[in-house]
Amino acid sequence: MARRESGDDGAAEPREAAESAESSETHAVTDGTAPTTVPSVPRRAGPGSGSARRARVTRPAGPAAGPAPRPKAGGDELESLLLGGVPRHTAYEVCKAAGIPYDEARRYWRAMGFADVGQARAFTDADVDALLRLGGLSRSGLFSEEFATQVARSMGQTTARLAEWQVDALFDAFDTAGVGPAEMAEFGYRIGRRVMPELEELLVYVWRRQLAAAAGRVRQQMQEHAEGLQAVGFADLVSFTRLSRQLSEEELAGLVSVFEANAADTVAYGGGRLIKTLGDEIMFAADSPARAARIALDLLALMRRTEAVPELRIGVAYGHVVQRNGDIYGTTVNLAARLTAMAEPDQIVVDPELAAALVGDDAFVVMPIGLRMVRGLGEIEPSVLTAAE
């Protein structure tokens, strides 16, 4: 998306991008006198509309007279663009075309996080392809239907949040640029035509990189005979409940956005994984105690320098965890959460296992703070973690 030169108001970016996209669409029919073939925009099938398939229109030769006005895109055109085709199939038609039993297809559909639409014509050819792929996993003999359902659920849950995030960001940009509700479908369509192919490629690229990183972590754990051992940390914003009553909704959203963005960058840079964000709290994990300790210290230092974010308190524990569907569970996770509640503002508290693992590392200082009773876990002796001078 093109940016303005320095000194201009960046709020106009969505309009510029849409105008640029529109220009690229009309250029092909106005830059010469030779016959030009232009793919028409796919639309919903309806009375008198003819085939819903993409048609090709040949412009007659003649002098260029400027672009012909194109009807403004509406919600139907935007939906077809995003779905990759015109919704024209019922659920039963999709199942028949894919050769998948209706009950099995419904399990996949729900696993991906989609609502039941009955027998409305809400499905495209892409839905047939998706069912063929999911059904092929279970029918290949390599994987079970349960595995295919887990694949569908993992992708659905992950991409649902991604889609919400991206749409919110885009509509915020539209609002800032002064794009009214009546124009949003048109601007969304024009920008979508330009950027969606690039976003699709980028999504696959990021997924492949993350897949390689996850496989590498598992392989390393197996080689080191440390399968299931993880350092788990929570970082919590102090007095967030009080702040939520004092700040406007917009200010509160901005605070959370700054906190989550800074925390995600710090965890990734330190070689850890951001497991989840909970508004005023994040949960992260790392494969080694030293790496988790460094991430915790870097988080604390970064938030001290960030005026918009209040103080943090952090708890970190090291031990066995259960990993499933991108999340982690177990006593170690519960202990890390309890240690976070125990910490003072601007303080990191760690459990005895992580403290013991850091002994002899000159980069860290661990100071025991005496025996403490931890609800549900009994008596332990935690320590405060600081960086060495």
Burial bucket for residue 69 (CB in 10 Å: 0-12, 13-18, 19+)? exposed
Q: Is the pTM for the entire model greater than 0.85?
A: no
Q: If you average pLDDT over residues 371-383, what whole number do you get?
A: 87
Which pLDDT value is given to residue 174?
Answer: 80
pLDDT band (50, 70, 90) for residue 224: low
pLDDT of 215 > 50? The answer is yes
Predicted confidence band at 222 (pLDDT cuts at 50, 70, 90)?
low
Task: Report the percent of the chain where pLDDT is more than 70.
Answer: 79
Q: Decide: helix, strand or coil at residue 48.
A: coil
Please report the pLDDT score of residue 266 as a whole number: 93
pLDDT digits (tens, 9 = 90+) for 192-211: 888 888 988 999 999 899 88
Mean pLDDT of 103-125: 89
Confidence of residue 34 (pLDDT cuts 50, 70, 90): very low
pLDDT of residue 316: 97
Average pLDDT value for residue range 9-17: 48
Q: Output 28 or 358, whichever has higher pLDDT.
A: 358
For the chain, the structural domain boundaries read 81-210, 228-387
Confidence of residue 282 (pLDDT cuts 50, 70, 90): very high
Measured in degrees and rounded to the nearest 5, phi and psi for residue 82 equal -70, -35
Nearest to 82 by CA among 173, 178, 155, 189: 189
Please state which of the ranges 32-36, 72-76, 362-366 shows the lowest mean pLDDT: 32-36
Tell which CATH architecture fits domain 228-387.
Answer: 2-Layer Sandwich (3.30)
More confident residue, 11 or 125: 125
Query: Quick check: 227 and 321 in contact, CB under 8 A?
Result: no
Tell me which of 214 and 290 has the higher pLDDT: 290
pLDDT for residue 37:
34
Non-local (6+) Cβ contacts of 137 within 8 A are 143, 147, 148, 151
Q: What mean pLDDT is predicted for residues 87-108?
A: 91
Q: What is the pLDDT of residue 148?
A: 87
Confidence class for position 69, pLDDT limits 50, 70, 90? very low
pLDDT of res. 293: 96
End-to-end CA distance of the chain: 45
Q: What angle do CA 375, 378, 383 make, to 5 degrees?
A: 90
Res 263 pLDDT > 80: yes
